[in-house]
Chain A
Amino acid sequence: MMASGMPGAILICGGCIAMRFHSVSRRTLLQFAGLAALPLGVPSRAAQAAASTLTIAYNVNLPSFDPTVGASAVNPTIQSIYQAIFDPYIGQAADLSFKPGLLTKWGWNEDRSKVTMELRQGATWHDGSPVTPEDVVWSLTRAADPKGGNPIQFVWSKINNYKIDGHTITADVVEFEPVLFKWMAFLTGYVLPKAYYEKVGAEGFEKAPIGSGPYKVDAFERNAFLRLKSHPGYWGPKPAFETVVFKFVTDPTSRVAEIESGGSDLTFEIPYEEFDRLKNKPGLVGQTKPVSDIGMIFLTDIDPMLDRNVRLAANHAIDKKAIVDRLLHGYGVPIATLEAPGYVAFDPAIKVAYDPELAKSLLAKSGYSPQKPVKFTIQTTRGFKPKDYEMIQAIAGMWRKVGIEANIEVYEIAQHYELRARHALAPAAFYNWGNAIGDPTTSTGFAMFAPSPHSAWKGKDLVERIGPLWGEKDEAKRIAGWKAVDKYIADEGEVIPLLQYVQPILHKKTVKVPPQANGMILPQLITPA
């Protein structure tokens, strides 16, 4: 077990075994007797410490502490833990808007050739040393290093040549990246301690990480739990709970059992049926909020999706509201584009109506009918997202009625990533797309722009429309441009947006959990009720 404040981390108790043999007291013998009967029902230490401790049954394991390197750095579900320990450069409010974090001011100069950032004064690392501008510059430089292993390196490399003046940092813009500062609130956008990291190295940091966030690491048992203690020198509001325990309970049934047995104060990402059952149970509260994650079907530009009639028919034949109401118990918001409500480029005027008759007539134009259906494969995960497989089954049923025969193929999420990167997905493939910063570049942009390894649609039509928007310096013009692209995609049916997910959170009545649109469960914001 890794314990608090001990650089080097794994505590060695050499000699403990030998030293303790000599003193077998009466108390020890009594303990032995008690051991045989296992103290069932005796309140655990967790129960005794409950008043000052918040226990969260968390849905994923924490693979690594460094929030800037490797696969875990780009895993959105782990960011809640990272944001409890590390400070992002820029904070994010509950509605996806941005607020000061370690940086209190940030921005571009007039011609977008320089950026300026102002570091908060008085912030400290968990070891008590101050957070300095040198830490910020080192973190950004390290993130931009192609050999550093930062998966978002291509964003951080857009600025260089840093200069420090007091608490103000300036840098030159290598290439204008409109969402640079938005990235500073999300994936890999964390400030790490230069001096400490250089002293302990990468492996030392993994064993005893320190950040400047509201909580510091107190104990970590891989695949079991992470225990945090509040950071007394934190620059922001003092967290209400002195101790936070993240129990890594990856199985949904086990998470339900955790909250039902009282073993945890809070859990989330549980089946909607269980959520409905438990939210009315005495002592528990259920809350839901649409989050920045959508369900969608990628269409690959291969036969038969090259036929516009087939694409549009596939879109119009899906009754998204029925799917949300019947399969997801109402926990979802039907969407028409890859921009969900709350994203900056969301346009409620863009609609894709459920119209099976229109779908039939479109298919008829291409020579298809329910008797002579167009046939293709649709790939989906099963159990990766709530009701993913069931949704695709329902959609296949709706398609069948209008003249589309879809063969369902189940794959693992790892296969999806690999196939998508190789542009080898089936003509249709279900996926979910998170966009915690709510910008169109990180939804429509990366999902539909041909040069992106994430896009399934490689048509030149979109390259021509999206290309100029990457470097657009006028923000209003940029957002209007993305809305136009979304409208075009909807008119052409080049992707099938399905729904915005709603996150079910279940917690004890004794705690108050402010929901976040980015889906994060931030312990620093949770308070006793």
Chain B
Amino acid sequence: MRWSGFLRRLVLIPPTLVGVGIIVFVLLRVVPGDPIAMMIPPGASADDITRLRALYGLDQPLLSQFVTWSGQMLLGDFGRSISLHQRVLELVTARLPATLELALLAVLIALALGVLIALAGVYVRGRRAEWLVDAAIGFFLAIPDFLWALILLLVLGVLLPWLPISGRIDPQRDVTFATHFDLLESLATFRLDVAADLLRHMLLPALALALPFAALVARLLKAQLAEAEDQDYAQIARTRGFSRATILTREVFPNALIPTVALSGVQITLLLGGTVLVERIFSYEGIGNMAIDAVINRDFPLIQGLILTFALLFIALNLVVDGLVALLDPRLHHG
């Protein structure tokens, strides 16, 4: 990607976010469900409802509400959560790192597993063992992440109670963090017992997210590797006496990687979407878990803040992946 292209993408970010903001704002007010109706106690009168509606600014015309909200957004104020009574920005920035760490771990596991399976699959190409690899890929791909979450919960949490099944850290542990990136911070500060505890809690949700993604990476990469291995340069390397393993890892792999990276970018955004249910199942305190509560409570400001955050994340991820593809693909350097 050229600098001009990169800059053009950057310039497009604000209008994209504005578009997302408008759609979310309107949709939330069109779909059934009213945050005030959620908090009306028995005995409340029509006056009480009017009073509560005014308290949260929901008595204003839709346009006026939108103008107020957009004005606040421009000043970096995402508003105040109706159900949690805290600033949305504060809530999102406190929880987003937990989701990012979980997604990062899931991506690392998925890439490691996917690459290993793909290399193994290509290595046994044409043999009976290839069928086994393909079947394994199909199996992992067929089961969605939230179902993997339940399977892992029951197998590794209940049947063989090896790993914790809820939360991000042992509730008995007294620990403080300067940032909300608990895992990265504990690793950086060599509090390895804390890091191990965090990893133990993250492993099952990360695996649940990683397994379908790993299967996808494996399927794509295996096909790319097989195709690249049949290319002339790989055949020439073989005639020059290089071992198959060397050719696969040093010559074929880098070339097969580019489409895999491009597709992985798209898949990471889907993986982030998958955190919503997986975080819920493992009671993991990320923004996905928070998003479900926000929707149940019809917490408009929080839902708007969370969706904009997801939108920003997706845009940023796509930019990073495009940049990475450009970096890996020599053809694009001379475009």
Contacts and interface: CB of A to CB of B under 8 A. Distances in A.
A499 to B, nearest CB: 20
A447 B171 CA distance: 41
A415 B199 CA distance: 39
Contact of A71 (B39, B162, B164, B178): B39
A158 to B, nearest CB: 11
B24 interface: no
Question: Which has the most chain B C-beta neighbours within 10 Å: A14, A222, A249?
Answer: A222
B281 A253 contact: yes
A245 B170 CA distance: 10
B40 interface: yes
A152 B41 contact: yes
Given A55-B171, A446-B43, A63 B196 contact: no
Contacts of A479: none
B32 A418 contact: yes
A26 to B, nearest CB: 12
B48 interface: yes
A1 B177 contact: yes
Interface in B4-40: 32-40
Contact of B195 (A35, A260, A263): A35
A527 interface: no
A420 B44 contact: no
Interface stretch (A38-46, A96-104, A340-348, A508-516): A38-46
A453 B46 CA distance: 7
B186 to A, nearest CB: 10
B74 interface: no
A302 interface: no
A38 B163 CA distance: 10
Nearest to B297: A71
Contacts of B43: 152, 154-155, 441-442, 445-446, 452
Interface stretch (B77-85, B103-111, B310-318): B77-85
B158 A261 contact: yes
A209 B86 CA distance: 14
Nearest to B290: A223
B171 A227 contact: yes
Nearest to A248: B283
A315 B97 CA distance: 53
Interface stretch (B149-157, B227-235, B268-276): B149-157
B38 to A, nearest CB: 5
B213 interface: no
Contacts of A222: 84, 91, 94-95, 285, 290
Contacts of B162: 40-41
B296 to A, nearest CB: 7
A20 interface: yes
A513 to B, nearest CB: 20
Contacts of B164: 44, 263
A247 interface: yes
Given A225-B171, A247-B283, A263-B166, A71 B82 contact: yes
Contact of A13 (B176, B283, B289, B297): B176
A11 B177 CA distance: 7
Given A17-B188, A421-B40, A71 B35 contact: yes
A66 interface: yes
Nearest to A47: B172
B176 A3 contact: yes
Given A13-B177, A31-B193, A63-B293, A202 B85 contact: yes
Contacts of B39: 70-71, 73-74, 151
A454 interface: yes
A159 B172 CA distance: 44
A467 interface: no
A466 B163 CA distance: 57
Nearest to B153: A257
B283 A250 contact: yes
A134 to B, nearest CB: 24
A230 interface: no
Given A261-B158, A414-B296, A32 B283 contact: no
Contacts of A55: 171
A447 B154 CA distance: 42
Contacts of B197: 44
Contacts of A309: none
A251 B166 CA distance: 11
A236 interface: no
A419 B32 contact: yes
A250 B37 CA distance: 22
A414 B172 contact: no
Interface residues of B, number: 79
A247 B169 CA distance: 11
Given A12-B178, A63-B84, A63-B293, A261 B161 contact: yes
Interface size class of A (residues with CB under 8 A): 35 or more
A16 B171 contact: no
A417 to B, nearest CB: 4
Given A44-B170, A257-B153, A257-B158, A250 B280 contact: yes
A421 B48 contact: no
Contacts of B45: 154, 451-453
Interface in B41-77: 41-46, 48-49, 51-52, 55
Interface string A45-77: 110110001010100010110100111111000
A23 B45 CA distance: 64
Contacts of A258: 165-166
Contacts of A411: 32
B283 A31 contact: no
A402 interface: no
B99 to A, nearest CB: 11
Contacts of B132: none
Contacts of A257: 153-154, 157-158, 165
A154 B44 contact: yes
A454 to B, nearest CB: 6
Interface string A471-507: 0000000000000000000000000000000000000
Question: Which has the most chain A C-beta neighbours within 10 Å: B34, B162, B292?
Answer: B34
In the complex, the 3 A-B pairs of residues with the closest C-beta atoms, listed nearest first:
A414-B33, A31-B192, A71-B39
Interface of A: 1, 3, 11-17, 20-21, 23-24, 28, 31-32, 34-35, 38-41, 44-46, 48-49, 53, 55, 57, 61, 63-64, 66, 69-74, 146-147, 149, 151-155, 187, 202-203, 206, 219, 221-225, 227, 243, 245, 247-251, 253-254, 257-258, 260-263, 411-415, 417-421, 441-442, 445-447, 451-454
Given A1-B177, A224-B171, A453-B49, 6 more contacts: A39-B200, A44-B172, A74-B41, A203-B85, A223-B290, A227-B172
29 contacts: A11-B176, A17-B185, A24-B190, A31-B190, A38-B200, A41-B162, A45-B170, A45-B173, A71-B83, A74-B41, A149-B55, A151-B48, A206-B86, A221-B168, A223-B283, A245-B172, A253-B153, A254-B166, A257-B153, A262-B161, A412-B33, A417-B37, A418-B32, A421-B37, A421-B40, A447-B42, A452-B45, A453-B46, A454-B44
Interface of B: 32-46, 48-49, 51-52, 55, 82-87, 91, 94-95, 150, 153-154, 157-158, 161-178, 185, 188-193, 195-197, 199-200, 203, 280-286, 289-290, 292-293, 296-298
